[in-house]
Amino acid sequence: MFTLASLWMTREEEEFRREPIAGLNTQLDYALHEFEARFFDTAGKPAALLTAPTLTNEAATGLALVEQPRIRVFHEGKLWNIRAESATVPPDREIVVLNGRVDLLRHDQGTADRLEITASEVVLHVEPRVASSERHVILQTRLDRLEADGFSVDMIDDTFTLKHAVRGHYEIN
């Protein structure tokens, strides 16, 4: 009985450490369920994690279509959680086009500050960790609210730019 339990535990550990599937033939149409993709920066450190119920690859275009993507972007104590209705990933995998309503939530683990961004049709550049859209956007902190048509947020520098028709509501503590 002990031998059987040891064998079972060893198999579980091996499955946990198993490397990702290499050499997936992207010249075929396929669908992956409970999909997970990890993105790394140029130094090899984790930059983002994409999870989704389904990813389909269209061989003719090289586009990956993602249903209900959830993206976590990491950088020096800041965590961005991004949700969208769907996403498209082109063959170079350097950008993710987030379609429909897109919610971006930043947690600063050092200060517990939160920033909520609600937008649509957002383009996320994975390596520089920059998200942008030309559509209407709402930025909300605990007390303040900004609205604009178009924005860009740099997740590494923790800066954002509002483009046109900017309106704001600030509360003084």
- Whether the CB-CB separation of 107 and 114 falls below 8 Å is answered with yes
Given a cut of 80, whether residue 38 has pLDDT beyond it is yes
Measured distance CA(119)–CA(132) in Å, rounded: 9
Please tell me which residue, 147 or 92, carries the higher pLDDT value.
Answer: 147
What average pLDDT does the chain have? 82
Measured distance CA(11)–CA(128) in Å, rounded: 38
Domain positions in the chain are: 27-169
Given a cut of 60, whether residue 79 has pLDDT beyond it is yes
Measured distance CA(117)–CA(13) in Å, rounded: 39
pLDDT in the model for residue 9: 38
Mean pLDDT, residues 137-143: 89
- Whether the CB-CB separation of 136 and 105 falls below 8 Å is answered with no
pLDDT band at 139 (very low <50, low <70, confident <90, very high): very high
Mean pLDDT, residues 128-154: 92
- Pairing relation of β-strands 130-140 and 145-154? antiparallel
Other C-beta atoms lying within 10 Å of the C-beta of residue 139: 20
Structure tokens at 46: 């984790």
Spatial CA neighbour of 151 closest among 133, 165, 129, 138: 133
CATH 3.90.79.10 fits 27-169, yes or no: no
